Amino acid sequence: MVAVMNKSLVKYGVTVLALVAVLVVIFWQQFAAQPVIPSALKNMGGDFELQSSQGPLALHDFRGKAVLIYFGYTHCPDVCPMALGVMAAAMQQAGDALKHRVAGIFISVDPRRDTPDKLDQYARFFDPRIKGVTGTPALLDKVAAAWRVDYAVPDQPADASYAVEHSTFIYLVNPDGKVAGLFDEKTSAAVIAEQLRLWLR
């Protein structure tokens, strides 16, 4: 148990350091001609194919767009709706000229309760451009590892009321499909919107 906790703390610490590095780069990019990917993010992320209400959905389907990604679940009482609200606001604030070049993906780590149809309805509440997806536990584990996401789903039946522990970062993926930004749910929509504009200019 102690080893697991220590491993989680180390992994969380690495992610926090990556977030700090990202914030430094974001500040610097305000004065740079072209945005750059922080070195702490270069080995994070990767393509995936998960299930939406319309069928399989892959990250490469969004090539050419700036995409905001969040891992959570629909029964989440606070942080998930807060993060999705920030994502939706950032997409709106990016401007009408970019409305077809920004998108969002909400990945549920609770497939036992979150069906593709339920995810579609939930994500659309925030913005129709946010797509809800999920997958098998094995596939979600693989995606989460690549994106450095920690989560733990209790071994409970689908009709039970339980909380899922999970990382709470919002990922920005650039038009080339690379992770280019990392934000927590308390980051202002204006800051994220500016990053969307930088990567799409």
The C-alpha atoms of residue 152 and residue 166 are separated, in whole angstroms, by 7
DSSP 142: H
Among residues 160, 80, 161, which one has the least CA distance to residue 125?
A: 80
76 is in an annotated binding site: yes
100 is in an annotated binding site: no
Asked if 44 contacts 18 with a C-beta cutoff of 8 angstroms, the reply is: yes
80 is in an annotated binding site: yes
Q: Which residue is listed with tokens 């959905």?
A: 57
Q: Residue 119's Cα: distance from chain center in Å?
A: 15
Q: Which residues are annotated as a binding site for Cu cation?
A: 76, 80, 166
Q: Which residues are annotated as a binding site?
A: 76, 80, 166
